[in-house]
């Protein structure tokens, strides 16, 4: 059984943590990823920094620039994935990013390297259901899933298109972009987003996580009630940005993840 299927098929609600890999350095990202796992994250989204992150707000955009300046990118992220996988055989690992770094590497080659590094699935923010069947086919050959995204603007037609794309590569879960906006928007109505995620899970036949705007125990709890789980991204990246020393950053990350873990466990 696929690792992500096992995680989503388990008893508890799923906590997904996004890290911009390489911010502030790839070594520290590995350390912070392990801190997330210790504090209760079930799945890690290993963010590949991209020069032109059009779906991201200023916090993740800044982190991406810092990471690229420090040598971050697809290869550095995959190197980190190997280390994280070796230390945490059960955690779900999603390679998260934009399409061009995968295209530049070559889709089959990139997917093969991801599989060897212990990645379970890919999530590509600028690859809607109609695009990227070549990537889905390559992923499928290597046993990797592709995580579809749905948004508040997604109509029944869009849900059908996302379902159809699952024929080309398995979707271990669905990422519900719960806010009209870029990452880091404040406008999340957690309970109604959770309800929408629950409805989409029925339509898609797959577990759905609430993806944008989770930054507190209360929002995590309210969103997770009717969803399979929640993702924390910007709040985590901001916590890292604000920490003065590696020790400060690690303890702040652990605190935030424990808090959100408590929230989803209350759901």
Partner 1 sequence: MPSPAPRAGYYGPFGGRFVPETLVPALDELTHACETIVRSDAFQREWRGLLDSYVGRPTPLGEAKRLARALDPEGRSLDRLWLKREDLCHTGSHKINNALGQVLLAKKMGKTRVIAETGAGQHGVATATACALFDLPCEVYMGAEDVRRQAPNVGRMALLGARVVPVESGSRTLKDAMNEALRDWVTQVQTTHYCIGSAAGPYPYPELVASFQSVIGEEARAQVLAAQGSLPDAAMACVGGGSNAIGLFRGFMKDDGVALVGVEAAGEGVNTERHAATLTMGRVGVLHGSKSYVLFDEGGQIMEAHSISAGLDYPGVGPEHSFLKDSGRARYLSATDDEALAAVSLVARTEGILVALETAHAFARIGDVARQIAAAQGRPASIVFGLSGRGDKDLSTLLARILPDGSLGAASRGAS
Query: What is the binding site for partner 1 (CB under 8 A)?
Result: 50-57, 61, 65, 68, 73-75, 98-105, 125-128, 130-131, 149-155, 157-158, 177, 180-182, 185
Q: Which is nearer to partner 1, 87 or 180 (CB)?
A: 180
What's the CA gap between 231 and 176, in Å, rounded? 10
The least distance separating partner 1 from the CB of residue 52, rounded to whole angstroms, comes to 5
Among 23, 42, 45, 107, the one annotated catalytic = 45
Q: Which of 94, 104, 98 is nearest to 175 (CA)?
A: 94
Q: Which is nearer to partner 1, 53 or 194 (CB)?
A: 53
The least distance separating partner 1 from the CB of residue 235, rounded to whole angstroms, comes to 19
Among 23, 56, 215, 222, the one annotated catalytic = 56
Is 45 one of the catalytic residues?
yes
DSSP for 51-114, please give it.
S--TTB-HHHHHHHHHHHHTT-SHHHHHHHHHHHHHH-TTSEEEEEE-HHHHHHH-HHHHHHHH
Q: Which is nearer to partner 1, 41 or 159 (CB)?
A: 159
The least distance separating partner 1 from the CB of residue 16, rounded to whole angstroms, comes to 17
What's the CA gap between 151 and 188, in Å, rounded? 13
Is 56 one of the catalytic residues?
yes
Q: Which is nearer to partner 1, 4 or 159 (CB)?
A: 159
What's the CA gap between 113 and 145, in Å, rounded? 14
Q: Which two tokens stand for residue 21?
A: 């890999």
Active site residues: 45, 56
């Amino acid at each position: 059984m696929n690792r992500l299927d096992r995680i989503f098929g388990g008893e508890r609600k799923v906590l997904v943590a996004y890290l911009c890999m390489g911010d502030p350095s790839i070594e520290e990202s590995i350390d912070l990823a392990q801190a997330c796992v210790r504090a209760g994250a079930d799945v890690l989204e290993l963010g590949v920094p991209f020069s032109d992150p059009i779906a991201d707000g200023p916090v993740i955009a800044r982190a991406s620039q810092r990471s690229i300046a420090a040598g971050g990118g697809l290869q550095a992220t995959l190197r980190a994935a190997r280390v994280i996988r070796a230390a945490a055989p059960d955690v779900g690992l999603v390679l998260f990013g934009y399409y061009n770094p995968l295209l530049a590497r070559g889709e089959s080659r990139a997917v093969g390297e991801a599989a060897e590094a212990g990645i379970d699935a890919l999530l590509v923010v600028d690859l809607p259901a109609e695009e990227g069947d070549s990537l889905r086919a390559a992923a499928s050959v290597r046993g990797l899933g592709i995580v579809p995204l749905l948004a508040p603007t997604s109509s029944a037609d869009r849900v059908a298109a996302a379902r159809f794309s699952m024929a080309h590569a398995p979707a271990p879960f669905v990422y519900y972009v719960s806010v009209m906006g870029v990452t880091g928007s404040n406008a999340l109505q957690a309970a109604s987003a959770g309800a929408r995620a629950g409805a989409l899970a029925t339509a898609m036949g797959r577990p759905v996580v609430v993806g944008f705007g989770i930054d507190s125990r209360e929002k995590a709890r309210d969103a997770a009630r009717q969803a399979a789980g929640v993702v924390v991204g910007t709040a985590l990246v901001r916590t890292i940005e604000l920490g003065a020393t590696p020790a400060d950053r690690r303890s702040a990350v652990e605190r935030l993840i424990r808090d959100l873990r408590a929230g989803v466990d209350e759901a």
